[in-house]
Amino acid sequence: MLTLNKTDLIPTSFILSGVPGLEDTQLWISFPFCSMYVVAMVGNCGLLYLIRYEDALHKPMYYFLAMLSFTDIVMCSSTVPKALCIFWFHLKDIGFDECLVQMFFIHTFTGMESGVLMLMALDRYVAICYPLRYSTILTNPLITKVGLATFLRGVLLIIPFTFLTKRLPYCRGNILPHTYCDHMSVAKLSCGNVKVNAVYGLMVALLIGGFDILCITASYTMILRAVVSLSSADARQKAFNTCSAHICAIVFSYTPAFFSFFSHRFGEHTIPPSCHIIVANIYLLLPPTMNPIVYGVKTKQIRDCVIRLLSGSKDTKSYSM
């Protein structure tokens, strides 16, 4: 009787097929992907540059925005270059260990994206409900600590994904119907028991997404109560305006995330696989593309800094929102 070692059931590489069912149109799909990636990289790198060198942006709100921009750069860079290689050059192979590394970066930084949005909601809560104590509450050491804690939370919760995936035997082929290595997409190629993977994946989603959404909801509930109690209509309008960019960032991030999450669990047999893959890519690409645009349009200080930079002005005057 032929016996196989565990190493015989671990593929040396996977083949990423891209968008199943749309192979003939993948070249055309690549152009919006590439355009959005360029916009995301230019926009987020531009924000990081402005926040680093403009004194007017050395404030807690913009430090959190810098965290979001860095997270967005890593998040989309973990997937889009490989997807473009698949679409343009048919370079579909990805090594098993390389696949695990990509999986780790994708899930870690999507979790960090959610965490930073939660921190930004708390920042808006402090700014609106405790404006006189804003700078004393959100000090630079505190911002550093909560940012590091958010990153470590993602790392510690996602590291088990790699071990849970690597322990599985793979005997259902090595063709992965995706543009990147997603945890459960890889696990489904296994002929072993993936129940632990599925349960742990759901638990992590609840621990990260559920906790962050709860904190965001609580923050905006208290913000709404504080804003409604203001006597001046202008004050209420200004308070709402300070939150508008962040609310847009939440919508761009969580809307495709919710669709992808629920469609994978409840619409697997009714929604075409191509739709799953496209939405999964939008989930990783839309927030990095739109966040710098939204903050650039809706935040007066950033607009003024960009105008001064483009005009060559050296004035370091601070601007108000």
| CA distance readout (Å), 192 to 30, 86, 164, 173, 197 | 35, 28, 11, 13, 11
Report the pLDDT value the prediction gives residue 23, as an integer from 0 to 100: 86
- As averages over each run of 10 residues, the pLDDT of the chain (321 residues) reads 56 93 92 97 97 94 98 97 96 96 97 98 95 95 97 97 94 92 93 93 94 97 92 86 94 91 72 89 96 94 90 55 42
> Residue 6 has what pLDDT?
55
pLDDT at 318: 43
Which residues, in sequence order, are bridge partners of residue 244?
A: none
pLDDT, one tens digit per residue, over 239-264 is 888 899 999 999 999 999 988 877 77
H helices of 78-210, where?
Answer: 80-89, 96-129, 134-137, 140-166, 183-187, 195-205
Q: Give the per-residue pLDDT at 2.
A: 40
What is the structure's pLDDT at 320? 41
Write the pLDDT tens digit of every residue in 45-65.
999 999 999 999 999 999 999
List, in order of start, the domains of the chain with CATH numbers.
15-307 (1.20.1070.10)
pLDDT at 1: 40
Comparing C-alpha atoms, which of 6, 306, 1 is closest to residue 169?
Answer: 6
Question: Distance from CA of residue 174 to its chain's centroid?
Answer: 27
d(C-alpha 274, C-alpha 61), whole Å: 38
Give the end-to-end CA distance of the chain in Å, rounded to a whole number. 74
Is the pTM of the predicted complex or chain greater than 0.85?
yes
